Amino acid sequence: MNPLDNIRVVLVGTLYTGNVGSSCRAMANMGIRHLRLAAPNLQNSWEEGERMAVHATGIMNAREEFATFEEAVADCVAVVGTTAREGLYRQHVKAPRDCAADILSIAETGPVAVVFGREDKGLLNEEVAQCTHLIRIPVDEGYTSINLSQAVLITCYELFTATGRYVPPHEKAPPAPQAQKMQLMKNWSAMLQEIGFMKPEQADHFMQGFHRVFSRGVVTKDDAALLLGVARQAIWAKNGGGEGSRTPVRNGINRASTRVSGL
């Protein structure tokens, strides 16, 4: 089974429908579908929530609402509270990344509530006392408050990542063999001489620079300047190289540009 199916995102005392909608969008991004509102105290219409949910309105419309926190988590085998506040009874908090695997393991046995408090006050002490786990998102100590929907996104991201379900894309083309690379450099040298970027007697010197660029990518300003010079010269040559066309480059470097060091 997919343990994310047993995750219940519980928003307690939420004030703004926009935060609910944004939280739904964050949940949808991370494959979590079940939203519960505990004692919501919404101050505006659902129009903003629908706008912020974008394509995740299905999650918002399927939400469950409960009169109390206790009712919202009653059927859950674990209650994971999020808190930014310090305190004697909050010292056992962990970062979401550090306990995501444990939460998913529990979710394989039954519903798990991941609880987020009010925008203005967070979770109350009596609510924290009912949590079986506490998590805190690591932030700079200079500003520890996080927007509700951003906290939902970060926490859900860590849970999703811990499933190992995401497979990053990879390069499908095989690596180029050395013979192909050398043929590329040979053709590149012929092209550069054809458009007037360099003279035959300069080819060895310039091509060492291009070997360096092609072997490691465009890293330095000199690398970029070298390729920009080729582009300018190619455009100038394409336009006929005569009066009224772009100014030609000299030894691969535009007269108005900084000269590539060492070339």
Which residue in this structure is represented by tokens 């192909």? 180
Q: Decide which of 222 and 190 is more confident.
A: 190
| Cβ atoms of 166 and 160 closer than 8 Å | yes
Residue 89 confidence class, pLDDT cut points 50, 70, 90: low
Tokens (6 digits) for 35: 């939203």
Q: Decide which of 196 and 61 is more confident.
A: 61
pTM attached to this predicted model: 0.75
Instruction: Give the 3-state secondary structure of residue 167.
Output: coil
Dist. CA 256–CA 263, nearest whole Å: 16
Q: Residue 15, Cβ neighbours under 10 Å: how many?
A: 18
Computed over every residue of the chain, the mean pLDDT equals 88
Q: What is the pLDDT of residue 246?
A: 45
DSSP annotation of 201: G
Tokens (6 digits) for 12: 């307690």
Dist. CA 76–CA 135, nearest whole Å: 17
Q: What is the architecture of the domain spanning 3-163?
A: 3-Layer(aba) Sandwich (3.40)
Domain residue extents for the chain: 3-163, 173-263
Q: What is the pLDDT of residue 263?
A: 52
Write b or e for each residue in 166-177: b if 16 or more Cβ atoms lie within 10 A of its Cβ, otherwise e. Answer: eeeeeeeeeeee
| Cβ atoms of 197 and 249 closer than 8 Å | yes
Q: What is the pLDDT of residue 243?
A: 56
Q: What average pLDDT does the segment 144-152 reach?
A: 94
Query: Distances in Å between the alpha carbon of 81 and those of 57, 126, 174, 252?
Result: 25, 12, 47, 62
Residue 41, φ and ψ in degrees, nearest 5 = -125, 55
Please report, as a single letter, which amino acid is at residue 233.
Q
pLDDT 10s digits, 13-29: 999 999 999 999 999 99
Instruction: Measure the N-to-C terminal CA separation of the chain; round to a whole number of Å.
Output: 61
Residue 245 confidence class, pLDDT cut points 50, 70, 90: very low
Dist. CA 25–CA 32, nearest whole Å: 10
Q: Residue 243, Cβ neighbours under 10 Å: how many?
A: 5
Q: What is the pLDDT of residue 176?
A: 84
Tokens (6 digits) for 203: 């080819």
Please report, as a single letter, which amino acid is at residue 98.
D
Report the residue count for the chain: 263
CA dihedral for 244, 245, 246, 249, sign (positive or negative)? negative
pLDDT 10s digits, 50-80: 999 999 999 999 999 999 999 999 999 999 9
Please report, as a single letter, which amino acid is at residue 101.
A
Dist. CA 25–CA 56, nearest whole Å: 5
Residue 91 confidence class, pLDDT cut points 50, 70, 90: low
Q: Are strands 34-38 and 64-66 parallel, antiparallel or unpaired?
A: parallel
